[in-house]
Each structure stands twice: as C-alpha cells, then as structure tokens.
Amino acid sequence: MELAAKYNPSEVERKWYQYWDEKGFFQSDPDEREPYVIVIPPPNVTGVLHMGHMLNNTLQDVLIRRARLKGFNALWVPGTDHASIATEAKVVRKLKDEGIEKSDLTREEFLKHAWDWTHKHGGIILKQLRYLGASCDWRRTKFTLDDDMYESVIKVFVDLYNKGKIYRGYRMVNWDPEARTTVSDEEVIYEDEDGKLYYINYPIAGHQGEYIQIATTRPETILGDTAIAVSPENEKYAHLIGKKAIVPIAGREIPIIADDYVDPEFGTGALKITPAHDPNDKEIGDRHGLEIIDIFNEDGTLNEHGLHYQGQDRFEVRKSITEELRQKGFLVKEEPHRHRVGRSERTKAVIEPRLSRQWFLKMKELAEPAIRAVREGEVKLIPKKFENTYFHWMENVRDWNISRQLWWGHRIPAYYYGDGEEDFVVAETPEQALELARQKSGNPGLRLEDLRQDEDVLDTWFSSWLWPITVFDGIRHPENPDFKYYYPTNDLVTAPEILFFWVARMIMAGYEFAGDKPFENVYLTGIVRDKLGRKMSKSLGNSPDPIKLIEQYGADAVRTGMLLTSPAGNDLPFDEQLVVQGRNFANKIWNGFRLVKSWKVDGDDQPDYAREAVRWYRNRFQHVLHQIEDDFAKYRISEALKKIYSLIWDDYSSWFLEMIKPPYGQPVDRKTYEQTLEILENNLKVLHPFMPFITEEIWQHIRPRRDDEALIVARYPEPAPYDKTLVEQAEQVKEIISNIRKIRKEKQIAPKEPLDLTAVINEAFDEALWSLVRKAANVKDIRTGGEAPANSASFRVGKNEFFVPLDAFINPEEEKAKLEEELKYLEGFLASVRKKLSNERFVQNAPAAVVDKERKKEADALEKIALLRKRLEAFGK
C-alpha cells in the first residue's frame, strides 16, 4: 500500500472515530472485569466547546483509553447540564430579540421555548467532543433534566426536607435586579469601583437645630432607614444615644442606638441602618429588634416606600435624591470614595442585597463525612495543595441557598394550600402532596386545584451534585446492577474553580445518598490562558476555536500540544506553537513508519547490529515503561507524555531506526523486520491514549487485522524486568558515536568514509555492542586492548579510552590542550570530593552509604586522572 508523504489527519480521524463508534468499542456494560469509570463534568447543554473543555476532556480520554488498554472495563459517561441561569438567560435574550417578554408568557409557554432551544442547540458540544476523539459511551448520555434525573432530584429534596435539613427562611440574599433572581455568593464578583461618600445631616427630634451626621455610599436607601447606630465607645455621640433622629425627606423618627459594629474612625462615626438592604444592617437590626422597610421592587426600582421616587430606578434615585437633599440643606458634602461593588457574574448588574424568602439546605452535618473523606485520603485531591483550600471552605461552610427565581430547572416540590407561614407540604407528586396537605390542614375536602406549587426552581448544582449517582439511576434504584457495578467511580477531572460548587457537594451527596464516596481521585486542571497570561474568554476574543485547530492540525496534535505542558493544577499558557509541536511529532511518527514500510524484506540472516539494536531497544522500552507507569500512578500525565515523546523521537526514530536501517538499496532481513514491527506496535500502544488516531491508523497498516482487532482495544504492554546494565552501556555507545561524529565534523571527514577505532578498555563493556558503533558511526575496524595509536584523535567515555587514527594532520598541541582541560576538570572534581572526605564531621555524620559513594568517586577520579596523565606523557614533556 502506498503511504502519503505527509500525514493527513482530518480524513484519518473521521474514519477511525466512526469505526470505533460503530464497533461499539466505547461501550461498557457490567461484566466480570474490574470497572474503571469517569463521569464527565457535564457542560452546559447549550454551550460550545472552548479550550478549557479541550484540556479537560483530553485528560479524561487519556485516562479512559489507557484503562481500556490495560484491560479494565472502561466507561466514560457523557452528558450535559441544564444550567438554569445561563440557559434561561439565553432563552430570555432570544425571545427579547423576537419581541417577546418573559413576563408575557406563562410558565408552560416559556418552558416550551426553552425546550425548543435546548433541542436545537443542545448537545452541539457533545458532537464536538467526538472530533477530539472522546471515547464516551454515547448510549449512556444523560441530561440533568431528563425525566429520571428530574425525579431523582425531587426525591432527594423531599428526603432532605423530611430529615429536617431543608428549611425555608428569610435571608439577605444577593438579588440580581436584571435577571430578577437571587444569585449565590459564589456568583457575585466584587470589584473596586469609584463611588462617592455622601455626608448627610439627620435632625435630632425635639432639639431644633441639632443634627447627627452620617456618611453613606447609598443615599437612596435613607428611605428605608430604621435607626442610626454609633459606637458605644464614641464619646462624641454618647449624649445622643436613646434619642430620636428624623429621616430627611421621609420625615420618620428613628432611634439612635449603640452597637459595637460601628467603627468610630470611619466616616463620621455614625452609621445609618437599613436592615432591608444591607447584610450588616440586617444583623444590627436583628440585635436591636428594628423595623424593616424594603424600598425596592424586584427590578431595582423603588416601591411605595420610595414616596415620590416610586417607580424610578435605584441609580437614578441616587442622583435625584442627592439633589433634593442638597436643596433642602441636608447634604453636607460629597467625597470620592473607592469601594468594592458586587456584580452578578451573569448579567453584570450591581447586586442588591435583599431580604427574600428562600429555601436553604443545612450544610454542617453534610460536610462532616466529606471533610473526613479527604482528610483520611479516601478521596484524593490532585494536586494536594487544593486540600488546604478545601478544608478551609468546608470547615466554614454556610447553609446553601438552593432556590432560584427561575423557571428552567427542577421545580421545588413544595405545595401551598393556604396563606399561613406553615400552610405548605413537601412531596414527590401532587397526589402525595394532597394527601399530606389534607392531614396537615385537617381539611379532608382539599382538592388538587387548591394546591399551588412553589414557583421557584432549584439551583443547578442541586442536580449536578448527584451526577455520579444519578447517571446510574442510583437514587431511584440503588440496587440496580449498573449502580452496584460502576459506583463509586474512579477519577474526576475538573477545574479548580468549581471545587466548592460541585466537587465538594458531590462528595457530600455521595456519602449522604449512596453511603460511599463518589470517586477516588479528583484531578484538578488549570485554567487555559493566552500567551499574555489572560484567561481565555469570549469577550476578549483571545480564545482560538478548538474545532478550527483540530481541522488545521489534527486532534492528535491538539491533544498532544495541550498536554505537553500542563501539570495538574497549573495554568496552561496556550500557544499555537505547542500544537505545531504536536503536529510535527505526528509527522515524525508517520515518516518513521514510511521508512520501515519502504524497505524490501528478504533473507534470514540478521546482522549483529540489528540483533543488538533490538536487544537494546526492548530493554530501553521497558525502562521507560516503568517510568511511565510511575508517572501515571502519580497523575503526572504531562511527564508521562514527555517521556513517550522522547522515547519515540530520540530512542526509536533517531537511534533504533538508524541502527537497523539496511545499507542503501538493500533489503532488511525478515527477523529484524518482524521485530521492528513488534517494537512499533508497543510504541503505538503506549502512545495511543494521547494520540489515538495516528496510532490506530499505523496499527492498521502494520499488518492485516481482524475486524475486532483494533488498537483501541489491544493489550497494553506489561512492565517486565529489564537489563539495566545494558541500558546504561547503550548510553555509552551513544556517547561514543557522538564523539566520533564530532571528530568527523572537526576534521571534515564525510560520514560515508569509514574510520577505524582503537579502544582501551579499563572497565567492563559489553563487546556485543561494538556492532552498533560500527553501524552508526561507520567504523570499519575496532581494535581493543592494544596501545594508543599515534596520530589519532582521542576521547574518553567513562574510564574507557578511544582513539581514531587519522591520515590527516593531527595538531598535537590541540590534542594536548583537550587532555589538559579534561584533567583540570577532573582535578577540580577530585579536590571537591577530597574536601568532603577530609572533613571529619562529614565522615562522622553522613550516612555510610553517602561516604562510600564519595570514596568511590575519589577512586574513580584518581583512576581517570592517571589515565589522562599517561596520555599526556605520550606527548612528551
């Protein structure tokens, strides 16, 4: 078969992906083998693939493919997340573009739009993953809003409610007035922004002409003031405590109270208290039993408490009320003030702290087994440095606000039957709710129509924290064979920024609902950044399109490029150059294969050099294989790839192939050819997890294969004992060859011209390896044991000396200078060793093995020095 001179990835990749998929090689079902399982971190259902996904999913695919090759029953479960806030925002925007407001639609109508959108755009990302080579079992694709998933989420909610872990409470939450929903603390981004500090006089009631001055950044909230607080230590205001102040414009009287929270040094030392609109004020309000006046509507405009400002936006009111305060003489001054402002991660709107009735999940008890699991190593975070952060967060965990004022998601299964605070029940179905409601209300006449289900949905993470369980239907049917076989899973690969949103909560859910950890190892990737170190983002436009990269360079190249330099937990500064390197590597492999395939195969006599090259490479392969196994055991995946890269590029291509290459135009013997193919097959096996496509392509070209005999399901090479000495001596052979090449270069002797070599052997050397020197350095005759020939260039490797006799003129001064330089180095080395050895405290304190090593170094150096001296004598003087 004719092989193209250049490797063409796009055709090859499509072909093999389809083949693997059709043959069912990605599929897994329980059997007697040991399972190896990864669940995908489900991407947003309407998302598109970005570089972060690429890194993440490449790592997962490497782990899965390797496990598959190693004989595990490997399963990678794919799926998507409904991502309530993000998806709902997209649908709302799209409807808006069509002139439809969400508020004009019923819940059912809106959900229909959302589902249409999901069906249209959903799963694009999963298709894109196929281009990357992701070997997921696509039959098992899950979506967090699938019926069974939905049911599981509701079941869990009801369960937690019945256990008393879910409660309803009023709480200061982060309100996004644009999305008209609460957002979690984690979804609020604080940044320093320029604002103003307004100094305002509040008249003291009953004391004409007396004022207390406060400083605030939010003058519009004075309409919600219900107190003024000062520090109890503050003598300046001591006489006012207990008196009343009058809120400007509103004209209400409010108490002046003392509270430790107030910093007497900041502003005026007096703080206006607006419990409805500031978390700290809320706490102070609770302590002093203050009234709560909420002045805002859901969209950030003022309500009836805003008096004549009713209906205006909070930021407009800030301007106009400042003006009114100025005109009426309450405003003393304004100062520029830089302070932290919280904005919604999604809409960028300034967050409004707001009291709202929400559902909460008590976290403290849930966190305990999850803390223990990581502390005791039952679940390992990789790299370990994230454990500190994990513990810090978990030990200070706060209750989780699980309700969201959205429609797209799992609707909270609470049903109200009256207007009282407690007139509700929680149940999996309306029918069960009715039953409960009849009991609780004592009214057997209640009908389904009398029940109103809570309007809110659950936080997205409240479904994804169950992901490793629900993908196997482990909530509804804990005894089902899939769940029993696959759970707990093995590795999770995800980004550190969702360690708390997701990973920590999955660990909690695992112990709470499955009685076991959800996974054993959590591999945390870094963030993919651009060359300038900026996070890749759509708005910056600095993120390459992964699909274009794949089209241009091939998926193998992109995978390799991303993994070459991304140790766990480290950010990956992405540079297209890395992908180029990956592509070059693919081409190198391809051409190495072309070379082998171009040889005519004939004859049964294996030359010595070929026999020795095979012997060496097999041992060298084992040597590297052991290192790779160790790297994988420690999840040093980049390191493993680099070692394979070097094994194939340097050891295999540059050395092995050059060594066995038959003389030009001549055939290679059958044995060497067969052994080379076998060696190549082993190379392909270890490389396959990283570069699945090109390895499969070459694998299939090597020899005819049965239909089910693909590389993807081949058997990984077993680590076996190997000859360490041989591997080391081969390194010396490489050094000898390099030295001869260097001499050729210096003396301008063409590689074609054969040379002779005289070796003076002072330490053991495997004579069989001479054949390699002959072949690779084009040496005709090797004499050993004799004396150093005159007029020759020399070099030393270890304690052995080598001489290349030359017809050309050898400058004795140059040779001498070279020897003297080597001698100087060795003498320096010897001096440093002796300095150590002559230090009594070293000899006394250092471990015996270290001292022995130093003595051996001393002896070796002495020997080498003696040799050099002898050579120098030969030059006279």
Residues 736-795 that bind RNA (CB under 7 A): 738, 741-742, 745, 752
Residue 305, CB-side half-sphere exposure with 13 Å CA sphere: 18
The nearer residue to RNA, 137 or 225, going by C-beta atoms, is 225
In one-letter notation, the amino acid at residue 764 is A
Contact residue for RNA among 385, 534, 600, 780 (CB under 7 A): 385
Q: Determine if 598 is a binding residue for RNA (CB under 7 A).
A: yes
Residues 600-639 contacting RNA, CB under 7 A:
638-639
**475 sits near RNA (criterion: CB under 7 A):** no
Dihedral over Cα of 423, 427, 429, 431: its sign: negative
Minimum CB distance to RNA smaller for 84 or for 581: 581
Least separation in angstroms between CB 831 and RNA: 6
Selected from 533, 541, 785, 876, the binder of RNA by CB under 7 A is 533
Closest CA to 460 of 399, 502, 503, 504: 502
- Residue range at the interface with RNA (CB under 7 A); choices 59-67, 309-317, 358-366, 830-838: 830-838
Binding to RNA in span 212-241, by CB under 7 A: 215-218
Least distance from RNA to the Cβ atom of residue 689, Å: 19
CB closer to RNA out of 5 and 761: 5
Q: Does 809 bind RNA (CB under 7 A)?
A: no
Q: CB under 7 A: which stretch of 387-395, 447-455, 765-773, 794-802 binds RNA?
A: 387-395
Residue 863 binds RNA (CB under 7 A): no
- 260-289 binders of RNA (CB under 7 A): 261-272, 278-280
Q: Are 563 and 59 in contact (CB under 8 A)?
A: yes
- C-alpha angle 313-318-320 in degrees, rounded to nearest 5: 90
Stretch that binds RNA, among 84-92, 494-502, 668-676, 805-813 (CB under 7 A): 494-502
**Which residues from 398-427 bind RNA, rule CB under 7 A?**
398
Site size toward RNA, by CB under 7 A = 90
The yes or no reply on residue 344 touching RNA (CB under 7 A) is no
Distance of CA 244 to the CA centre of its chain: 57
Q: Which is nearer to RNA, 149 or 637 (CB)?
A: 637
Check residue 595 for interaction with RNA (CB under 7 A). yes
Chain CA centroid to CA 242, Å: 57
Which span (364-372, 509-517, 755-763, 843-851) binds RNA, by CB under 7 A? 843-851
Instruction: Name the one range near RNA by CB under 7 A: 1-9, 36-44, 614-622, 808-816.
Output: 1-9
Q: How far is the CB of 744 from RNA (least distance, A)?
A: 9
Residues 679, 619: contact at Cβ < 8 Å? no
Residue placing its CB nearer to RNA in the complex, 571 or 863: 571
Nearer to RNA, 115 or 501 (CB): 501
Q: Is 838 in the site for RNA (CB under 7 A)?
A: no
Q: Which is nearer to RNA, 429 or 839 (CB)?
A: 839
Cα–Cα distance for residue pair 454/399, rounded to 1 Å: 20
Site for RNA in 181-200 (CB under 7 A): 185-186, 190, 197
Q: How far apart are CA 525 and CA 533, in angstroms?
A: 16
Please give, one letter per residue, the 3-state secondary structure of 796-834: EECCEEEEEECCCCCCHHHHHHHHHHHHHHHHHHHHHHH
Helices (H), 493-634: 505-509, 546-553, 555-564, 576-598, 608-633
Residue 552 sits in the site that holds RNA (CB under 7 A): no
The distance of closest approach from Cβ of residue 717 to RNA in the complex, given in angstroms and rounded to an integer, is 22
**Contact pick of 93, 538, 548, 841 for RNA (by CB under 7 A):** 841
Site for RNA contains 831 (CB under 7 A): yes
845 binds RNA (CB under 7 A): yes
Residue 129 or 254 having the CB closest to RNA? 254
Is residue 790 a contact partner of residue 758, using CB atoms and an 8 Å limit? no
Residue (of 471, 652, 579, 680) closest to 58 by Cα position: 579
CA distance linking residue 598 with residue 119, whole number of Å: 51
Q: Does 79 bind RNA (CB under 7 A)?
A: no
Rg for the chain (alpha carbons), in Å? 37
Question: How many Å apart are CA 664 and CA 871, to the nearest integer?
Answer: 39
Q: Indicate whether 573 belongs to the interface with RNA (CB under 7 A).
A: yes
Q: Is 592 in the site for RNA (CB under 7 A)?
A: yes
Of the candidate spans 241-249, 439-447, 590-598, 671-679, the one that interacts with RNA by CB under 7 A turns out to be 590-598
Does residue 297 interact with RNA by CB under 7 A? Answer: no
Q: What angle do CA 493, 496, 502 make, to 5 degrees?
A: 75
Does 500 interact with RNA (rule: CB under 7 A)? yes
The answer to whether 695 touches 711, Cβ cutoff 8 Å, is yes
Buried residues in 265-297 as b, exposed as e (16+ CB within 10 A): eebbbbbbbbbbbbebbbebbeebebebbebbb
828 contributes a contact to RNA by CB under 7 A? yes
CA–CA–CA angle 392, 505, 87 (5° rounding): 120
User: Pairing mode, if any, of strands 211-216 and 188-203?
Assistant: antiparallel
Residue 662: partners with Cβ closer than 8 Å, 6 or more residues away: 599, 668
Interaction between residue 571 and RNA (CB under 7 A): yes
Q: What is the length of the chain?
A: 877
Decide: residue 496, CB within 10 A, 0-12 exposed, 13-18 middle, 19+ buried: buried
The reply on whether position 63 binds RNA by CB under 7 A is no
The least distance separating RNA from the CB of residue 351, rounded to whole angstroms, comes to 11
Residues 6+ apart with CB under 8 A from 722: 618, 619, 622, 623, 626
Asked if 657 interacts with RNA (CB under 7 A), we say yes
DSSP letter, residue 42: P
Q: How far is the CB of 877 from RNA (least distance, A)?
A: 24
